[in-house]
Amino acid sequence: QANASNLKNFLSAVRLAHQGTNISALPLSALVPAKTSEVEKPKTKMIITSKRDYPLTKNFPYSLEHLQASYCKLARIDTRVLCLKKLRKLDLSHNHIKQLPATIGDLVFLQELNLHDNHLETFSSALCTSTLQKSLQCLDLSQNKIKALPIQFCQLRELVNLKLDDNELIRLPFKIGQLDHLRFLSAARNKLPFLPSDFRKLCLESLDLFGNPFEQPNPLVPNIQLKIPLTLLECAARATVNYR
C-alpha cells in the first residue's frame, strides 16, 4: 500500500508536468525499492467452510489456484468463481447445487473438481466436450442424485480419480474403457445391474462397486484386471464370493 501523502504529491506532479509546469519545487520523496515484507504476495488459496464467511460484496482474488467453499448452502455456482481463470482445484462440496453451468469448462487449468454432497441430477455433456478434456484429473460427484452420465463423459480422457458413490446410477457409460488414465474408480451404493463390456479395458489400481444390485453373481469378468497385484485378503474374499 502506498503512503497517502507521497501518492498525492506524485499525482500532483504528474498533473503539473502534463500541463507543462515546472515541478522542481514539489516535495517528492526519493524512489526507494520496496522491501519484500512490504510487498503483498498474490493469494493462491482460499478455504471457506461456512455461509457466514462466504464473501457477498467483494470479488475473489483473481490469483486463486485453490478455492474451497463448503457448507455454504450454495444453490448454484457463483459467477465470480467462474472468472478465476487460474483455478486448479475447486471444492464446492456439501452445498445445494442442482446444476452445473457450461462455463466451468472455461477454467482451462482446472485439475480437481469436488462436488460431493450436492443435489446434482445430471452432468452436462457440454462440460465433457469443453477444455476440461485436457485438464481435469480428479472428479468427485459422490452423494448426489445422478442417474446416468452422458455418452460424452468418456471424452474426459485425463481423468485419474473418479468418485461416483451414493448416487442413483443405473448404468455406466458404455465407452468407459476410453478413460485410459483412470486408476481409481468408486461407484459404490448405486443401482448398477451390470457393467459395460468396455469396462474390461480399464487399468485400475483401486475399484469399489460395493452395494450395487448386480444381476449376475460376479460382475467382474475374468478379463478385468487391476493394475497392481491383489492382496491375500482380497484374493480370499473373491474366492469366497465366487465359490460359496
User: Does position 34 have pLDDT exceeding 70, yes or no?
Assistant: no
Q: Is the domain of 159 the same as that of 201? A: yes
Confidence (pTM): 0.77
Residue 196 falls inside a structural domain: yes
Total domains, the chain: 2
Q: What is the pLDDT of residues 170-216, one digit of tens each?
A: 999 999 999 999 999 999 999 999 999 999 999 999 999 999 999 87
The reply to whether 70 and 110 lie within a common domain is yes
Instruction: Let me know whether 115 and 75 are in one domain.
Output: yes
> 9 and 52 share a domain?
no
Mean pLDDT of the chain: 87
Residues 29 and 50 in one domain: no
Please identify which residue in the block is written with the cell numbers 464370493.
241
Q: What cell numbers appear for 196 in the block? A: 459395460
The answer on 118 and 18 residing in a single domain is: no
Alpha helices (H) in 125-231, listed in sequence order: 125-128, 132-135
pLDDT 10s digits, 219-229? 654 445 455 56
Q: Are 166 and 62 in the same domain?
A: yes
How many C-alpha atoms does 239 have within 13 Å on its Cβ side? 7
All three cell numbers of 47, joined, read: 478455504
Spatial CB neighbours of 112, under 8 Å, sequence gap ≥ 6 = 88, 89, 90, 91, 136, 137, 138, 139
Contact 202, 180 (CB under 8 A): no
Residues 34 and 61 in one domain: no
Q: Do the domain assignments include residue 243? A: no
244 part of a folded domain: no
Mean pLDDT of 63-92: 97
| Structural domain range at position 6 | 1-40
CATH number at residue 141: 3.80.10.10
Same domain, 109 and 227: yes
**Domain identity same for 35 and 68:** no
Q: Are residues 212 and 109 in the same domain?
A: yes
Say whether pLDDT at 137 is over 80. yes
Do 211 and 167 belong to one domain?
Answer: yes
